[in-house]
Amino acid sequence: MTGRNPAGRVLSGMRPSGRLHLGHYHGVLQNWLRLQTEHDCFFFVADWHALTTEYSTPQGLRENIKEMVVDWLSAGIDPEISTIFVQSHVKEHAELMVLLSMITPLSWLERNPTYKEQLKEVKDRDLHTYGFLGYPVLQTADIIIYRAENVPVGIDQAPHLELSREIARRFNYFYGDIFPEPKTILTSSPKVLGTDGRKMSKSYNNAVYLSDPPEVVERKIRTMMTDPARKRRTDPGNPDICPVYITFHTIYSDEPTREWVRAGCTTADIGCIECKKAVIPRVLSLLEPLRKRREEILREEDMIWRILREGRDKASGVASETMKDVRKAMGLDY
């Protein structure tokens, strides 16, 4: 154990969706980077959670896991100070999920807003499965098996975390005080819009990826949608409704540059290309160190799986200790 306080342990996970984009970087990874210097952090790949929806194509998981972990590492998630692992490598998550499923009322799961929403929205596959309904039960096991107190997630995960606290409380009520109730650390993330002005997302095909080469990043920003009212160079625009401004200038430019954009755009003094050119180098310089680290990592691909196995060993140590306490508390230590 390092000198950091395990009482403040942080845990978070992501489903392996392949390459990460700037939305993931500014929304999640930057917070992880900040937290890992101050807390005992566990970051894991939620491959079983991915299967709740991708169950018909599990073959894609291996590559998606690799790509995502390469992005974590190249962004600076440091296996020397954080524990990085794959969920399915630590079988105790599944054991705890079974036990938690005994005490989780169906009504809690059925009223979960994320569940109801996904059932309505996702049309290309059948999500009326036991596993999908139990998604938050597995997520609870992921968290409390490390007795994590802090869970940094985006607002979309807040209902799941609320359920996790309820399930932990119910366990403690039946069997004794084993688990802390995990706190949600809501990560206030900037609004990251994609090249078409909608939320940046892989499924919208509008994302700038951390692994995009510089010329691709440049092309994506150069062709990015702007204020639609600026049809001609001589039309004034409004930065407040322009995705280039809302996302790129807000995140990457300094105040004088933003002032220059606001003044130039609203008077048609500057053109959109000029405006975009001002921010492109800043995006590239953020990504440059990531690109270098990525090259090093990919030169030695075995290292990725080695890091994940070492993480598994550390995580398993903690998880198996917790499970001993759990079995004992429930009288299952025969």
DSSP conformation letters of 206-237: ---BTT--HHHHHHHHHT----TT--STTS--
CB 284 within 8 A of CB 214: yes
Partner from ligand SF4, ligand TRP, none contacting 13, C-beta within 5 to 8 A by type: ligand TRP
Buried residues in 190-224 as b, exposed as e (16+ CB within 10 A): eebbbbebeebebeeebbbbbbbeeeebbebbeeb
Q: How far apart are CB 239 and ligand SF4 at their closest, in Å?
A: 4
- Interaction residues for ligand SF4, span 189-248 (CB under 6 A): 226-227, 230, 237, 239, 242, 244-245
- Interaction residues for ligand SF4, span 25-44 (CB under 6 A): none
Partner from ligand TRP, ligand SF4, none contacting 46, C-beta within 5 to 8 A by type: ligand TRP
Q: How many other C-beta atoms lie within 10 A of the C-beta of residue 289?
A: 12
Regarding 275 and contact with ligand SF4 (CB under 6 A), the answer is: yes
Q: How far apart are CB 242 and ligand SF4 at their closest, in Å?
A: 3
Q: What is the largest CA-CA distance in the chain?
A: 80
Residue from the set 20, 69, 272, 307 that interacts with ligand SF4 by CB under 6 A: 272
Tell me how far apart the terminal alpha carbons of the chain are, to the nearest angstrom.
Answer: 30
Q: What residues make contact with ligand TRP under the rule CB under 6 A?
A: 11-15, 46, 49, 139, 142-143, 151, 153, 157
Q: How far apart are CB 210 and ligand SF4 at their closest, in Å?
A: 23
Regarding 253 and contact with ligand SF4 (CB under 6 A), the answer is: no
Place of tokens 């599944």: 94
- Which one, 13 or 197, has the nearer CB to ligand TRP? 13
Regarding 278 and contact with ligand SF4 (CB under 6 A), the answer is: no
Q: Which of 118, 166, 122 is nearest to 140 (CA)?
A: 166
Regarding 270 and contact with ligand SF4 (CB under 6 A), the answer is: yes
- Which one, 54 or 227, has the nearer CB to ligand SF4? 227
Q: How many other C-beta atoms lie within 10 A of the C-beta of residue 306?
A: 12
Write out the residues near ligand SF4 by the rule CB under 6 A. 226-227, 230, 237, 239, 242, 244-245, 261, 265, 270, 272, 275-276
